[in-house]
Amino acid sequence: MNGHHGDQNDRRRFLKGGAALAGLAAVGGARPGQAQSAPGDATSNDYALYGERSRFVTAMRKRMTGPTSDSYVASPVQEIEGTITPNSLFYISSRDRGPYTPPTELDPKEHRLLIHGMVDRPLILTLDDLKRLPSVSRIHFLECVANTIPSPGGRWKWETIQERFGKMSCAQWTGVALSVLLREAGVKRGASWLIAESADGVRHSMSITMEKALDDAMVAYGQNGEPLRPVNGFPMRMFVPGWEGVRNIKWLRRIKVVNEPYLTQTESHVNPHLRLTGKSRWFNLEMGAKSVITFPASGARPLNGPGYYEITGLAWSGLGAVRRVEVSTDGGRNWQDAKLDEPVLRIAWTRFRLPWKWNGEETILQSRCTDEQGKVQPSLAQFSEVWGVRPDYFQETENQVTHFNPIQRWRVLPDGTAKNAIWDI
Ligand SMILES: Nc1nc2c(c(=O)[nH]1)N[C@H]1C(S)=C(S)[C@@H](COP(=O)(O)O)O[C@H]1N2
Ligand SMILES: [Mo]
């Protein structure tokens, strides 16, 4: 897959002449999308209501308040079975009117995606147009750069796994590979970046490299077998596997092909690295190797007396597949390899499990992820060393720390509950 031009590339274009296909209009020729008639009258009594879960099941997302820009809805990661977050429990992070206010619902018949800039054939696409193109479905996690931020503003002492790790989820995404769309538009020589922009009030926009766009990025319209939810970007969003959550533009309305990254307003605003003198990195794109034990954990169901349990958790890396997860049940003296659920997918949550006999005494549990590129999840001490600060800096700082991926420690207490122990050094 490449961005070169010429006859060969022309032949590989899926749609001859781009705009020739009815509904896939070049700029200037846009027409309102045609309403598709439903397969059957879904309003008749023959159709049951949209599903509900058992009234005995109580897992809920949680509203989190912190510094205004960091308010979000946290997913109950401790309650997720396996590796897929149901859409009703998916985390939400939105900067426009906040995650608690549903966005203005975009009408897919009115909504348009514009692809322009350094292209031979600018395109305007409706959701229906997008659905006519070759599609892919892939399972990937999505993680906010600020997932696990230790103590936002030094004031909010988040404790439970849902509060500390709830800014991530994992789903199966369906959409059109960006490489297909870019081939349709015909990328001009010298184009090296894309700027993706949203239709919401803040015009959220972000830079994405052409390399990533042609590799595995997509414009997604499906999430776990159904259309995206309004809060997650309906009718379409950018999906950039493994990259920081903030670049996955929801309510996507424009892709501009350019020859350099733009430091967009939202980009500079949300990239706290820009504010840390001496430690600044303009672009820190992929999420690193990380893991967390989801049971036992602070906020998860308590242990019910000594005996056999299965320690289980999630591991992931924005750089590829998880290769190994080690677990320690004795405060880090000994480590054992946990069993990974198969298939182990790249840039997806990987469920790990380890049988454990608890003797009823206080102990510290922790997990360490290694990904296929050999990146090992750092200890808090190692992470602090890279930053050139003392480990307790992260607990108190007013600076927002992002890409925080040190090993998480849970202290199991004799009463069977667990507490956050990452700061107990
Ligand atoms: N248009 C738009 N896209 C956005 C955002 C936003 O505020 N507006 N938030 C970003 C951030 S910070 C994250 S972490 C992810 C969250 O996606 P989700 O709400 O579907 O979980 O979307 C990103 N895309
Ligand atoms: Mo985010």
- DSSP letters of 189-247? TT--EEEEEESSTT--EEEEEHHHHHHT-EEEEEETTEEPPGGGTTT-EEE-TTB-GGG
Name the pTM for this structure.
0.89
Instruction: Tell me which residue has its CA closest to atom 19 in ligand 1.
Output: 92
Residue to substitute in 68, 95, 266, 403 for testing ligand 1 pocket (most ligand atoms within 8 angstroms of CB): 95
Residue 263, SS3 per DSSP: coil
Q: Nearest-5° angle of CA 352, CA 78, CA 295? A: 55
pLDDT value of position 101: 63
Tokens 């308040």 sit on residue: 65
Neighbours of 342 (CB within 10 A): 8
Residue 4 Cα to ligand 2 middle (Å)? 33
Q: Where are the beta strands (DSSP E) in 242-334?
A: 252-258, 290-295, 307-316, 322-328
Residue 332 Cα to ligand 1 middle (Å)? 36
pLDDT value of position 19: 45
Of 298, 289, 366, 357, the residue nearest 327 (C-alpha): 366
Whole-Å CA distances, 405 to 7, 149, 323, 425: 46, 9, 17, 16
* 3-class SS letters over 292-308: EEEECCCCCCCCCCCEE
Residue 83 Cα to ligand 1 middle (Å)? 21
Instruction: Return d(Cα 76, Cα 232) in angstroms, integer.
Output: 17
Residue 262, SS3 per DSSP: coil
Residue 283 Cα to ligand 2 middle (Å)? 15
Instruction: Tell me which residue has its CA closest to atom 8 in ligand 1.
Output: 94
Instruction: Tell me which residue has its CA closest to atom 21 in ligand 1.
Output: 92
- What is the DSSP annotation of 103-124? PPPPPTTT--EEEEESBSS-EE
Residue 143 Cα: closest atom of ligand 1: 14
Instruction: Return d(Cα 319, Cα 336) in angstroms, integer.
Output: 23
Find the helix or strand (DSSP H, E) in which 10 lies. helix 7-12
pLDDT value of position 396: 79
Instruction: Return d(Cα 88, Cα 73) in angstroms, integer.
Output: 11
| pLDDT tens figures, 64-109 | 876 554 578 999 999 999 999 999 999 999 876 666 666 768 999 9
Residue 94 Cα: closest atom of ligand 1: 7
Instruction: Tell me which residue has its CA closest to atom 16 in ligand 1.
Output: 93
Give the ligand at the shortest distance from the Cα of 247: 1
Longest distance between any two alpha carbons in the chain, whole Å: 72
Give me the sign of the Cα torsion angle 230, 198, 24, 3.
negative
- Residue count of the chain: 425
Q: In this structure, what token pair is assigned to residue 68?
A: 């205004």
* pLDDT lower than 70: segments of the chain: 1-44, 66-70, 96-102, 104, 150-156, 263-283
Structural domains of the chain sorted by starting position, each given as residue range(s) with its CATH number in brackets: 62-274 (3.90.420.10), 290-420 (2.60.40.650)
Residue to substitute in 71, 113, 250, 400 for testing ligand 1 pocket (most ligand atoms within 8 angstroms of CB): 250
Give the ligand at the shortest distance from the Cα of 403: 2
pLDDT value of position 243: 96
Residues with CB under 6 A from ligand 1: 90-96, 142, 144, 198, 200, 204, 232-233, 245-246, 248-251
Phi, psi of 112 (to 5 degrees): -130, 145
Phi, psi of 365 (to 5 degrees): -105, 140
Q: How far apart are the first and last CA of the chain?
A: 48
pLDDT value of position 288: 95
Which DSSP state fits 407?
P
Instruction: Return d(Cα 192, Cα 182) in angstroms, integer.
Output: 12
Instruction: Tell me which residue has its CA closest to atom 12 in ligand 1.
Output: 246
Instruction: Tell me which residue has its CA closest to atom 2 in ligand 1.
Output: 250
Residue 251 Cα to ligand 1 middle (Å)? 9
pLDDT value of position 1: 34
